[in-house]
Structure 1
């Protein structure tokens, strides 16, 4: 009598998983199982059950900044040069920058705080990687959930600045996919960095990095106020590229740097996903 126990329908149930595993490129065999949607599905179930209120609160931060700085201080500042050199109201100057910042914050806090708890305390990823899922499935799934948060913030804030008359071109519709690109870059790097964090105290370093980057990346004033050496440093920061790209879209003006801004976030995303995947494999699949 054979020792094998067959469960009715078992072979049919796992057939799609087996096909995905066989179709993987060989170099991805240890990283990717082609089933990131399982992680995404779990993420949406958690949001539906308990997280909508927490997510919604992040929408209001850039709106409050816009009301306080753009409309309040804008009465004192007046106009500033736009992407094409023509003067624009101060509120129109900072609104695209706040949209880029909103995408960054939503992605970072989702890919750092949430991922850290799941990684170090809930041991969720350890359980996921005990199944057929690979480290890249987990990384892509979590990064997608961070993008979803960035998407909600971007759509809401774009609606606000459109109603306020702070966008003047149909190219502004492209600010939503660009916000997702910005969120992708920051979420990827955020998850990679989180894999190195071992204690809650280290999470305090995140706002220490984000706040100066927000204040110094030409979000609230032109980069020309800095000495040239400082300008080069600011231009190396990812948020500056996002801010400049958003400003160009808000008025429909493009330069030779537009492609550089996009390429910056594409490279940033690839590096972040690769590092996060390799770190998860090292932490749990040694």
Structure 2
């Protein structure tokens, strides 16, 4: 095989990178039509536009063979989806993409890095272990119908003034920093707002931020038609965090209803036992589950007392 070249993704790479992503996942999962994977969702374009320098492609003989994306959440780094064309599986393409991704994490000086992968695939787990990632708890990707309208007091980030947006982002940073030092979702908040993928929902208690949720809505986002995907959400830590989390889930359901969406999708690491149990009690049910892998091999913010939604896909 000729040399594998890793470079930054360009706008013109998006159609082929998207095609390969669908083909790779659809083939791995054994779908009758591999290209049907993820329906009308868009992981590739949205993640590229969120942070172009953190989007990578692997090129062989001048053609795109795979891609990967790094997500910068302050002191935390996440990557994916990492996909390689099936014609080039087991030929070192994923390893080269990971080498470059680790370089990005080093530049960002992240303290904790993670990924979501298939728990049943020893090949995937073994590959990531070579880069210092270790399997820990399961992550459940859960969903529920939007079957009732909540009486929720919420603020939509998109409706704030520029000055109010700056204040809200700073408040979100302070809230997440109290959960894990340096955890900062500003890039996700800004990306959703700039690309008009959905909205960030803010809830308050006595004038102080009680929780927030970054939500993707419908086709062309990181979910498909009819769905509200809660990519990240968390409630203020400390006494009353479970109640604040419930209030945030109420706000997400109210927001989803206002957008005419039929289902809410949200992931939760099962190490966050309180959040996981609360979601089950609210009739969220697991659709798929995978394993969260951490570098270094420590909990990070996946702790029992943390009421937080994400899934690292």
Higher relative contact order, chain-length normalized (CA < 8 Å, sep 6+): 1
| Structure with the greater alpha carbon radius of gyration | 1
- Larger fraction in helix: 1
The TM tier, using the shorter chain, reads: under 0.3
Task: With the length of structure 2 as denominator, give the TM-score of the two structures.
Answer: 0.22
- Larger fraction in strand: 2
